[in-house]
Amino acid sequence: MRVLHLLNHTNRLNGHVHAAIDLACAQVKLGHSVAVASGGGDFDALLAANKVDTMLLSHERRPATLMKGLGVLYRQARDWRADVVHAHMMTSAVLAWPVCKILGIPLVTTVHNEFQRSSILMGLGTRVIAVSAAVARSMQRRGIPKSRLNVVLNGTIGSVRFEGKDRTPRHLDSPAIIFVGGQHPRKGLPDLFAAFSTVYKKNSGARLYVVGAGPYLDTYINLVSTMECASAVTFMGAQDDPFPFLLGADVFVLPSHADPAPLVLSEAREAGCAIVATDVDGIPELLEHGKAGILVPSREPARLSEVLCSLVENSGTLLEWRKNSQFNLEHLRIERVARETLEVYAAASRRSRGQPAKRA
């Protein structure tokens, strides 16, 4: 099959980009011809090294640019002889829909960030992939028929992004609690800081490491500077490869208020961290509904601190949950993601030809 992926860009530190890059390269390994059309970016060299064709397609949201982009995409899809177009963001879906209609090829879309209002436009796809069952339910409530939705849970294990990377654990003072993610309100970081303040009062040797960047980074740094635990919190900024930091940590914590299917949970599990995360959106699915990590209510710092204390204070409990993180870990391999996505393409192709979908 010839698969053309559409992305706004291919820059690092964007979850939907990481997921699409992983998928494209995994599909090549399975014997398919794959291309990525985008505004370009950091991963273009990696794509080329993994035999993924790259094409330039501007996604700038200006009327003249979008109109030009329609013509560019039409020629790219026609001349490259795409069997299916896979759009990963709203602008990509809007550009692809008329092109696919004219060329008579199926459009598959992936809803990576369903909390965005514009995500309803991903319903333009012949088939719509949700990155978790929670996202699928949300999109159904917003009007996308269940008959056009498929769930393909995120996974990163085996990603080419990690090939050849240094896997030496970074030294972190133990007991080390780590957060990796964007500095955004939906990630719930103030809840984590409040919880860690309690942990620190009871266990002054505990340390919190915050990896990531975002628009609220300075706000959070200022917030922590006023707390008694300030000396025990280290903001490490954005890291191209956070995996060595995960390897050096004891506990990974994700206090999100909303999170469709965060890739970092796959990475934290692979690193063997004990995991504590909120019971929202796709997080329970990535943690095997509590078998691979401890689930806590969102927006409840007291409960979060209670669980963190139990791990920090009890080495047996910590070891147990580090082992639990490996439960059914193979399900988070990128090859599984690629194979399930190819099945969605096949269903989309049958639909575009007017054939009935195969029943499971």
Residue with tokens 């049958």: 350
Question: How would you class 48 by CB atoms within 10 Å of its CB: exposed for 0-12, middle for 13-18, buried for 19 or more?
Answer: exposed
Q: Residue 353: its pLDDT value, please? A: 64
Contact predicate 125/237, CB 8 Å: no
Q: What pLDDT was estimated at residue 357? A: 46
Question: Do the Cβ atoms of 179 and 214 come closer than 8 Å?
Answer: no
Residue partners of 222: CB distance under 8 A and separation at least 6: none
Domains of the chain in start order, with CATH, are: 2-155+333-352 (3.40.50.2000), 165-332 (3.40.50.2000)
Q: What is the pLDDT of residue 355?
A: 52
Tokens of 70: 């329609």
Q: Write down the number of H helices and E strands in the chain.
A: 13, 13
Q: What is the DSSP letter of 169?
A: P
Interatomic CA distance for residues 144 and 358, integer angstroms: 19
**Residues with Cβ within 8 Å of residue 308, at least 6 apart in sequence:** 177, 195, 196, 199, 206, 251, 253, 276
Res 359: pLDDT? 37
Q: What is the pLDDT along the chain (360 residues), one digit of tens a residue?
A: 999 999 999 999 889 999 999 999 999 999 999 999 999 999 999 999 999 999 999 999 888 988 999 999 999 999 999 999 999 999 999 999 999 999 999 999 999 988 777 889 999 999 999 999 999 999 999 999 999 999 999 999 999 999 988 899 999 999 999 999 999 999 999 999 999 999 999 999 999 999 999 999 999 999 999 999 999 999 999 998 999 999 999 999 999 999 999 999 999 999 999 999 999 999 999 999 999 999 999 999 999 999 999 999 999 999 999 999 999 999 999 999 999 999 999 999 987 665 544 433
Q: What's at 92, amino acid-wise? A: S
Nearest to 105 by CA among 132, 81, 87: 81
pTM above 0.75, yes or no: yes
Contact assessment for residue 333 and residue 86, using Cβ atoms and an 8 Å cutoff: no
Alpha helix (H) residue ranges in the chain: 15-29, 44-49, 63-80, 90-103, 133-141, 189-202, 217-225, 243-247, 263-271, 283-286, 301-313, 315-324, 334-352
Number of Cβ within 10 Å of residue 275's Cβ equals 25
First-to-last alpha carbon distance for the chain, in angstroms, is 22
